[in-house]
Amino acid sequence: MEHHVDVAPGVRLWAEERGDPAAPALLLVMGAQASGLTWPDSLLDALARRHRVIRYDHRDTGRSTWSFAEHPYPIVELAADAVKLLDALDVARAHVVGMSMGGMLTQLLLLDHPERVATATFVGTPPMDGGPADAPGPDPELLAYWETMLQPRDRAAEIAWRVEHWSILNGGELPFDAEEFRRREERIMDHAGRHDNTGAHAQASQDGLDRATELKATTTPALVVDSPADPIAGTAAARHLAALLGNARLVTVPGLGHALSEAVGPGLAEVILDHTTAHEPTGRP
């Protein structure tokens, strides 16, 4: 089932749900510049056996409104979008799974809207304070590649750029199927009706994200997935985030990087479901 939800004047989000509408809701929050279609279908299908799974496109991705160039917004506004989406879909409380920047938004939800979050799961998520001072930063190869992100490219070149990007993000421990990610990016471009990358989320203000010290007071059950091969938020970041949160446990998925393939979907779903089913919300889904 697809939805189009107005979250602000002139801003409409695309969302999709699968699974039993009466099951406990689970909201998937993707990372920067990533459409909701970036979540692997194998993960969604496994989660939908127990949950009403909701995924969506952030502003400036997929079929949602692309307007950053005319109306810039801060990253924190994307967290407000998630709450408005839950309102529109009549979801009082949801399990929330955040990937990368989506995990940053989930940290904001824990702080500002804890009553809306049954459990929180963080995958490949940098802590709000950037992590421990002695932790390694992003892989230099990745930083160099990001320098080319906004260069203009035709569709074929953009697909090639994104596939290589996913290859670097994969981290080198688990097998990488370039054809799988090529098909996914083609689908995402067809879904969006465009192939360009505006880099909106990379350019958006990060004001309001310096709230790491507040996380210790959170009581929502949280799961931090340690992705040891992640070139952005690896083991040191995961351990630091788990320590910052007031009620968190850490689970390692061996070999996991920052790219979610169809192959890792079922195993990751099992880890998430172990967490969510242990803390089912009461009341309506």
Q: Is 64 marked active-site? A: no
What are the angstrom distances between the C-alpha of 136 and each of 56, 131, 132, 237? 32, 9, 9, 9
Which residue among 95, 165, 195, 258 is the active-site one? 258
The answer to whether 56 touches 13, Cβ cutoff 8 Å, is yes
The answer to whether 124 touches 99, Cβ cutoff 8 Å, is yes
Cα gap 156→35, rounded to integer Å: 18
**Torsion sign across C-alpha atoms 153, 159, 160, 164:** positive
Which residue among 42, 64, 100, 227 is the active-site one? 100
Cα gap 32→178, rounded to integer Å: 21
DSSP per position, 1-51: -EEEEEEETTEEEEEEEES-TTSPEEEEE--TT--GGGS-HHHHHHHTTTS
Which residue among 81, 139, 226, 230 is the active-site one? 230
Burial grade of 123 (CB within 10 A; 0-12, 13-18, 19 or more): buried
Residue 58 neighbours by CB under 8 Å, 6+ apart: 13, 30, 34, 64, 78, 81, 201
Q: Is 100 marked active-site? A: yes
In 3D space, the residue among 139, 141, 138, 165 whose CA is nearest the CA of residue 151 turns out to be 165
Q: Is 226 marked active-site? A: no
Question: What residues are annotated to the active site?
Answer: 100, 230, 258
